[in-house]
Amino acid sequence: MRHDHLISAKQLSRDDIETVLDRAAAIADDPPTREAVLGLLFFEPSTRTKMSFDASMKRLGGSTVDMGSVETSSVKKGETLADTVRVVEGYADALVLRHPSEGAAKMASEFVDVPLINAGDGAGQHPTQTLLDLYTIRENAGLDDLTVGIMGDLKYGRTVHSLADALTNFAARQHFISPESLRLPRSVRYDLHEAGAQVREHEDLEAILPDLDVLYVTRIQRERFPDENEYREVAGQYRIDGDTLAAAPDDLVVMHPLPRVDEIAPGVDATDRAKYFEQAHNGVPVRMALLDLLLENAGDGGESA
């Protein structure tokens, strides 16, 4: 894999994805060493992404420096993102950035020489989530001849945009299920079309459910709605529970990037279909593999096994 920065899933070829996933799969048996420092810059809330990047860098033998919350950093004093990343670049060998503005990671990457990883830019992209999603799909359903349903907030969900882009590498059949108001943005649909993706859109899960290998459920991104009333109109509409899944194939894989609010009833958790906690745990080997590869390219922090 030869990328300086990871900003969008569109950058990833099938080969790139397989390189990361293969390395992730081998990590438990053959852990590489990277004594590098990773800078964590999270301008939006995060549990999984931030903690798993932190754990990953430490498990590689490196360490992390963390900007902390916006409230306690110099952002509060009016520092620009460009200045913040230029400063923190001097403290770290690679940077992970989450920011509420779409395009922020791309912009920030233009100011730094160390690898910068987009950990979510507004409603834009979240490519490392996609890598762990693909890892989970590969483990549970395989990546060939795949029919995937992606349901919920397709408009603001950045995990959706990245996953859909990446799945074009595998010629997956992609079904998008959402209310009309939360359909995929036109630009995302256009790019999928240009990439030759097989895309269909639905307002109901029912008709398509029996055909699915994977159902990827997402949270309605309340924080991105300009108007709270618009959120209330769609909240709670696309919830799945044991009854919903009665019509699903026995080997359906249910995924969710988490955090969930009420999209998946807790009763589903104990079933064999529920893979969302496993999915979250896969964040560590996958991010270890990615850091190892990016730092290897950058010529930093020790040797790979």
Instruction: Give min distance, CB of 126 to ligand NCD, in A.
Output: 5
Which residue, 140 or 221, has its beta carbon nearer to ligand NCD?
A: 221
Rule CB under 6 A: say whether 258 interacts with ligand NCD.
yes
Rule CB under 6 A: say whether 126 interacts with ligand NCD.
yes
Which residue, 32 or 49, has its beta carbon nearer to ligand NCD?
A: 49
Task: Indicate if 10 belongs to the active site.
Answer: no
d(CA 178, CA 58): 39
Helices of type H across the chain: 14-26, 48-59, 81-88, 104-109, 127-140, 158-167, 186-194, 228-234, 242-245, 276-281, 283-298
268 phi/psi in degrees, rounded to 5: -75, -25
d(CA 178, CA 195): 22
Rule CB under 6 A: say whether 275 interacts with ligand NCD.
no
Instruction: Give min distance, CB of 154 to ligand NCD, in A.
Output: 12
Task: Indicate if 126 belongs to the active site.
Answer: yes
Instruction: Give min distance, CB of 145 to ligand NCD, in A.
Output: 27
Which residue, 79 or 223, has its beta carbon nearer to ligand NCD?
A: 223
Task: Indicate if 98 belongs to the active site.
Answer: yes
How many other C-beta atoms lie within 10 A of the C-beta of residue 244?
17
Which residue, 49 or 56, has its beta carbon nearer to ligand NCD?
A: 49
Task: Indicate if 50 belongs to the active site.
Answer: no
How many residues are given for the chain?
Answer: 305
d(CA 273, CA 252): 6
Q: CA–CA distance from 220 to each of 42, 46, 83, 106, 234 (Å)?
A: 21, 16, 32, 25, 8
Nearest to 264, CA basis, from 244, 246, 280: 244
Q: Please, which of residues 143-172 interact with ligand NCD by CB under 6 A? A: 158-159
Residue tagged active-site, from 3, 10, 33, 48 = 48
Residue tagged active-site, from 49, 64, 128, 218 = 49
- Answer for which of 3, 48, 189, 239 binds ligand NCD (CB under 6 A) is 48
d(CA 167, CA 146): 9
Task: Indicate if 130 belongs to the active site.
Answer: no
Instruction: Give min distance, CB of 195 to ligand NCD, in A.
Output: 22
- Answer for which of 39, 115, 120, 149 binds ligand NCD (CB under 6 A) is 120
d(CA 8, CA 118): 7
Which residue, 35 or 139, has its beta carbon nearer to ligand NCD?
A: 139
Rule CB under 6 A: say whether 301 interacts with ligand NCD.
no
Strand, coil or helix: 239: coil
Which residue, 285 or 301, has its beta carbon nearer to ligand NCD?
A: 285
d(CA 116, CA 110): 9
Rule CB under 6 A: say whether 287 interacts with ligand NCD.
no
How many other C-beta atoms lie within 10 A of the C-beta of residue 120?
27
Rule CB under 6 A: say whether 49 interacts with ligand NCD.
yes
Query: DSSP of 89-103, one letter per residue?
Result: GGG-SEEEEEESSTT
# residues contacting ligand NCD (CB under 6 A):
10
Q: Please, which of residues 213-242 interact with ligand NCD by CB under 6 A? A: 219
d(CA 165, CA 195): 8
- Answer for which of 32, 127, 149, 257 binds ligand NCD (CB under 6 A) is 257
**What amino acid positions are annotated as catalytic residues?**
48-49, 77, 98, 126
Residues of the shown chain interacting with ligand NCD in the complex, contacts defined by CB under 6 A: 48-49, 120, 126, 129, 158-159, 219, 257-258
